[in-house]
Amino acid sequence: MAHLLSALERIGSPHLLVLGDIILDRYTWGDAERVSPEAPVLVLRADQEEVRLGGAASVAGLLGALECQVTLAGVVGEDSPGRVLRKILEDYQIDQSLVLADSGRPTTTKERFLGRAANRHPQQILRVDRELRIPLTTQLQEILVASVLERISEFQAVLISDYAKGTCTPNLLAAVIAAANQQDVPVLIDPGRIPDYKAYCGASLVAPNRLEAELAARMPVRSPADAILTGQRISEEYEIDAVLVKLDCEGMALVRRDQPARHFPTRQRQVYDVTGAGDMVLAMVGLCRASAIPWEESIPLANIAAGLEVERLGVAPISRAEIRDELTQSDGTAADSQMPGKIVGVEDLLFALESHRRRGKTIVFTNGCFDLLHAGHAAYLAEAAQLGDVLVVAVNSDAGVRRLKGAGRPVIPDADRAALLAALACVDFVIVFDEPTPHELLRQIKPHVLVKGGTYTVDEVVGKELVEAYGGKVRVVGRRDGVSTSSIVAAMVAART
Cβ partners under 8 Å of residue 289, min gap 6: 157, 186, 188, 204, 205, 298
Measured in degrees and rounded to the nearest 5, phi and psi for residue 453 equal -110, 155
Rg (CA), the chain: 27
Q: How many residues does the chain have?
A: 497
Give every CB contact of residue 98 below 8 A, 6+ residues apart in sequence: 17, 19, 71, 72, 73, 74, 144, 147, 148, 151
Measuring CA to CA, how many Å separate 313 from each of 24, 118, 453? 16, 18, 41
Residue 227 CA to residue 210 CA, distance in Å, equals 8
Rounded Cα distance, 72 and 358, in Å: 41
Backbone angles phi, psi at 61, to 5 degrees: -65, -40
21 among known catalytic residues? no
Question: How many Å apart are CA 297 and CA 11, to the nearest integer?
Answer: 11
24, β-bridge pairs: 53, 109
Rounded Cα gap, residues 293 and 66, in angstroms: 15
Nearest to 269 by CA among 303, 239, 296: 303
Burial of 11 (0-12, 13-18, 19+ CB in 10 A): buried
**In the 3-class helix/strand/coil scheme, how is 171-187 assigned residue by residue?**
HHHHHHHHHHHHCCCCE
Strand 69-77 and strand 157-161: the pairing is unpaired
* DSSP code at position 312: S
Active-site option among 79, 279, 348, 414: 279
Provide the CA 211 distance to its chain's centre, in angstroms: 16
For residues 324 and 2, is the Cβ–Cβ distance under 8 A?
no
3-state secondary structure of 40: coil
411, exposed or middle or buried, with CB in 10 Å at 0-12, 13-18, 19+?
middle
Strand order in the sheet with 123-130: 42-55, 22-35, 108-116, 123-130
Q: What pairs with residue 34 in β-bridges?
A: 43
- Cα 265 from Cα 220, distance rounded (Å): 19
Tell me how far apart the alpha carbons of residues 101 and 82 are, in angstroms, rounded to a whole number. Answer: 8
Tell me the catalytic residues: 279
